[in-house]
């Protein structure tokens, strides 16, 4: 029984030693963590590309190299690029990439990550310079920015297609004008905006004149039509009034004369008016005497 416990303890100690040595990159055990990928080389030749978990190697003979399995970020150096319309801009880029074929990556970049990042910086800047040079400043900044970015990403991805590198995205991080020409560009942009403002203002004033002229014409037509209708209505009213007056005169001539005289008094005599007239005046015959209706003389 004692020998069994000693054997188990020895096995446990040996296993623990293997794991500890593997975690430090020594010994026969290779431990690949989640999010990383490792490759085993023997005299420079690829022996095994490991998966997360445990694998083996020959100590002191096999070499193990570890790389990230996740997306990697590379911020390239800024560059001064001339656009299609001869504008010079300062461009700063970044690339998102990952190693998707470790064997091809080792073959393409035997010196490792530093060599890969230097080449990627060079290829990305060359791609940005080539694509941006085909477009105007306005297209790069606003109109076709998405198309420009897609073209740059496709060009860079094609350059690394056989190197074990997958390009996920290439973007322009910052776009600025060189300080030497920034003031001139701003002045030219201000001049262009002023010219457009004058053009739009002139077009607006022309439209306003047309609208006012149309409104005045419509108003004159409406007023003329209203006056015509008013005259027709007034004529019809006068005709109806005359008819009523004529009917009233035929039925009661004296009462009709009295009402017409009162109406004439209201129109000719204002409030507070002093009158001096002859008692025999025909116009004021209904004011003569105490009765409402005087006998005609």
Same domain, 147 and 79: yes
Q: What is the CATH number of the domain that holds 90?
A: 3.30.479.30
Is the residue at 107 inside a domain?
Answer: yes
The number of residues making up the chain comes to 297
Same domain, 79 and 154: yes
CA 275 from chain center: how many Å?
83
Last residue of a domain, one of 68, 90, 109: 68
Q: Return d(Cα 279, Cα 286) in angstroms, integer.
A: 10
Domain count of the fold of the chain: 2
Burial class (CB in 10 A: 0-12, 13-18, 19+), 294: middle
Q: Return d(Cα 237, Cα 239) in angstroms, integer.
A: 5
Coil, helix or strand at residue 89: strand
Is the residue at 220 inside a domain?
Answer: no
Same domain, 121 and 81: yes
Same domain, 123 and 172: yes
Return the pLDDT at 12.
43
Phi, psi angles (nearest 5°) of residue 133: -65, -15
Same domain, 164 and 94: yes
Is the residue at 219 inside a domain?
Answer: no
Last residue of a domain, one of 141, 156, 176: 176
Last residue of a domain, one of 176, 204, 227: 176
Within the chain, residue ranges assigned H as helices are 2-23, 102-108, 113-132, 137-138, 145-159, 179-251, 253-268
User: How many Cα atoms are found within 13 Å in the side-chain-facing hemisphere of 3?
Assistant: 0
Same domain, 107 and 171: yes
Is the residue at 108 inside a domain?
Answer: yes
Is the residue at 268 inside a domain?
Answer: no
| Structural domain range at position 95 | 72-176
Same domain, 81 and 171: yes
Cα-Cα end-to-end distance for the chain: 167
Q: Return d(Cα 136, Cα 140) in angstroms, integer.
A: 6
Q: Return d(Cα 96, Cα 168) in angstroms, integer.
A: 5
The helix-helix angle for 113-132 and 145-159 (nearest 10°) equals 140
Same domain, 83 and 143: yes
Same domain, 41 and 118: no
Same domain, 122 and 64: no
Q: Return d(Cα 150, Cα 170) in angstroms, integer.
A: 8
Return the pLDDT at 213.
92
Residues of the chain with pLDDT below 50 are: 8-9, 11-25, 290-297
Structure tokens at 127: 């791609």
Same domain, 40 and 123: no
Same domain, 92 and 58: no
Is the residue at 236 inside a domain?
Answer: no
Instruction: Give me the sign of the Cα torsion angle 66, 67, 70, 73.
Output: positive
Q: Return d(Cα 26, Cα 64) in angstroms, integer.
A: 9
Structure tokens at 2: 């004692």
Is the residue at 140 inside a domain?
Answer: yes
Is the residue at 245 inside a domain?
Answer: no
Place of tokens 């069994």: 4
């Amino acid at each position: 029984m004692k020998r069994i416990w000693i054997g188990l303890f020895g096995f446990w100690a040996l296993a623990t030693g293997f794991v500890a040595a593997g975690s430090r990159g020594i010994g026969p055990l290779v431990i690949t963590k989640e999010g990383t990928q490792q490759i085993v080389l023997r005299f420079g030749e690829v022996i095994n590309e490991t998966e997360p978990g445990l694998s083996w190697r020959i100590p002191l003979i096999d070499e193990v190299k570890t790389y990230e399995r996740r997306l990697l970020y590379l911020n390239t150096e800024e560059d001064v690029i001339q656009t299609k319309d001869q504008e010079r801009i300062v461009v700063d880029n970044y690339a998102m990439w990952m190693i998707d074929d470790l064997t091809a990556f080792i073959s393409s970049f035997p010196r490792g990550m530093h060599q890969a990042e230097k080449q990627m910086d060079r290829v990305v800047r060359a791609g940005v310079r080539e694509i941006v040079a085909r477009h105007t400043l306005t297209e790069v900044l606003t109109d076709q920015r998405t198309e420009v970015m897609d073209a740059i990403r496709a060009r860079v991805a094609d350059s690394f297609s056989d190197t074990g590198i997958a390009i996920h995205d290439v973007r322009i991080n910052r776009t600025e004008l060189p300080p030497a020409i920034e003031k001139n560009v701003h002045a030219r942009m201000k001049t262009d905006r002023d010219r457009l403002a004058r053009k739009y203002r002139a077009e607006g004033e022309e439209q306003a004149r047309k609208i006012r002229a149309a409104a005045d014409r419509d108003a004159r037509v409406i007023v003329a039509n209203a006056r015509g209708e008013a005259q027709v209505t007034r004529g019809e009213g006068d005709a109806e009034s005359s008819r009523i007056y004529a009917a009233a005169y035929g039925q009661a001539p004296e009462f009709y004369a009295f009402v017409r005289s009162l109406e004439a008094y209201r129109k000719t005599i204002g409030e507070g008016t002093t009158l001096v007239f002859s008692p025999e005046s025909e116009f004021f015959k209904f004011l003569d005497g105490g009765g409402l209706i005087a006998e005609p003389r």
